[in-house]
Structure 1
């Protein structure tokens, strides 16, 4: 007798669906003849419905996860697929985010139909992005530009760009790669000038703590290198009380032999004028402590009023 299918919860955007299908395909391939049936369940989140206001004004990152996590808790789905950069550091009781696919490219890209690069934008040009990190980084590099909040999925943002609502926008290269749309990128932005969000490029899989059956399935596709990097980055974010109201960048990497973990962190004021950054290296087994330590150091450098002007803070 065939058991009930394993239900994979996801948002309904083209990128979210591409990520959910990738998880299903990897599970099916890794488990082979023993693979159960998998069903993708689309769940509309508050973040998908509320598009006319900045996230910081309406609840932050949790708007993209609340309804999905409720479905996990009540048993309507068995696991949830997320863009790790959308995940708050504090999860609801009984849920864990501890399985990750191999990480994609972490860089951001500049996208414009009329200009070749961020540096090429004329003075006063309008660049749209919903990310406070991207907004602050642009303002640091190009204070002469107009930076506006610009929300929606990749396709809707590109459509508004084509319609001339803005002169340019910024997107994650990982998402474009996953949808086969990398040709949209006008310029790939360098990591040294434009470091990524915590978790950028990593698909995270959330599940119920103690669900041995699901954890055994996910172990077959979990990438431990990505996992340890995300532990460090998310510990950094947690130490900074990071949310959609705080411009923060963080990026961890492992050495080729897997023996050394390096973590970079950056905090900025929303106007991009003030910034503090730092590096730390250590053993992968100390990932959480390394992230927390760097976060505490950056928080001390910034002082208690560093994010005072952040909307909603």
Structure 2
């Protein structure tokens, strides 16, 4: 692939969080771009985000509008960096003026996984004893699992992946709910005791995919990063993000999705649930993959007609009271 890059952009600076998973993902993007554009130098610049610094408060309590992305975005707008690599599920659906989602890479398995404490080896969620403590910081996972497994107890867990696993191994939890993608990217796929099927837990919007953010109008940079675009993944994620945006929900509300693209046809399933899991609204739309965003909007309207907005309003009120 031939791309015209001016002398000023011979070096492209990539912004990344400092967490282990973020760096693994960013170095993968750097390597892929370097292979495709050997005449361009790709530098990684790391920074800590607010979400990396506040580890003793539940995510839902501090909000998530740019919690893991704001500092990276300031870096691009001030031209300290040119692009930023994100776990797409962390990237808000409304981006700051002057920035855009320039590329979506091929998706790893977006499912949720269960990692069990050693004493529960061989068990599944439905065979854990009543009162078993499950660690998760996601309201989406919490609501769906409460709906299906009311016999289990749930407890918030924060920290990076290694910190969470250490807490599990110390016996603070009977099991943790984590993303399949993150575990596999860190070489910890062998810790997965159960991959939760989508009929039990719909995944987060964008989960398993990487999003590369850049400045709007920076066509030279955009031409470079588009080399990593995976069209079916991009279509799926654009549908999911439109669905989330139309519901005005952030990552820290119980909204889940599942998407499939087959023969240019996209099927999108979406879910909104109450925090106690007792009310769960789910529906599906399908249509041309090229109309991904419109399908997301259509599904959001279908769920609103079934009471999703009332559930979300109650959740926001409860979070604000907390």
**Structure 2 length normalisation: TM-score?**
0.92
Paired with 2:155 and 2:302, the residues of 1 have a C-alpha distance of 31
Structure 1 pair 3/196, CA: closer, same or farther in 2 (3 Å)?
closer
Query: Which moves more between the two structures, 193-202 or 116-125?
Result: 116-125
* Structure 1 residue 243: Cα displacement: 1.0
1:254 aligns with 2:254: no
Residue matched to 2:183 = 176
Residue matched to 1:216 = 223
* Structure 1 residue 312: Cα displacement: 2.5
* Structure 1 residue 54: Cα displacement: 1.3
1:286 aligns with 2:291: yes
Contact 1:233 1:250 in 2 (8 A): yes
1:95 aligns with 2:87: no
Residue of 61, 70, 84 corresponding to 1:57: 61
* Structure 1 residue 148: Cα displacement: 1.2
1:77-226 equivalent positions in 2, closer than 5 A = 77-113=81-117, 114-115=119-120, 116-226=123-233
* Structure 1 residue 303: Cα displacement: 5.0
**Structure 1 length normalisation: TM-score?**
0.95
1:266 aligns with 2:266: no
1:64-75 equivalent positions in 2, closer than 5 A = 64-75=68-79
Paired with 1:52 and 1:3, the residues of 2 have a C-alpha distance of 40
Moved over 6 A (4+): none
Paired with 1:51 and 1:267, the residues of 2 have a C-alpha distance of 26
Paired with 2:112 and 2:14, the residues of 1 have a C-alpha distance of 28
- Cα-to-partner distance string for 1:55-87 (whole Å, 9 max, x where unaligned): 121121421111111111111111000011111
* Structure 1 residue 269: Cα displacement: 0.5
Residue matched to 1:18 = 24
* Structure 1 residue 251: Cα displacement: 2.0
SS in 2 for 1:38: strand
CA-atom RMSD, angstroms? 1.5
- Cα-to-partner distance string for 1:173-229 (whole Å, 9 max, x where unaligned): 111111111001111111221111110100110000011111011121111111111
Paired with 1:3 and 1:293, the residues of 2 have a C-alpha distance of 40
* Structure 1 residue 306: Cα displacement: 1.2
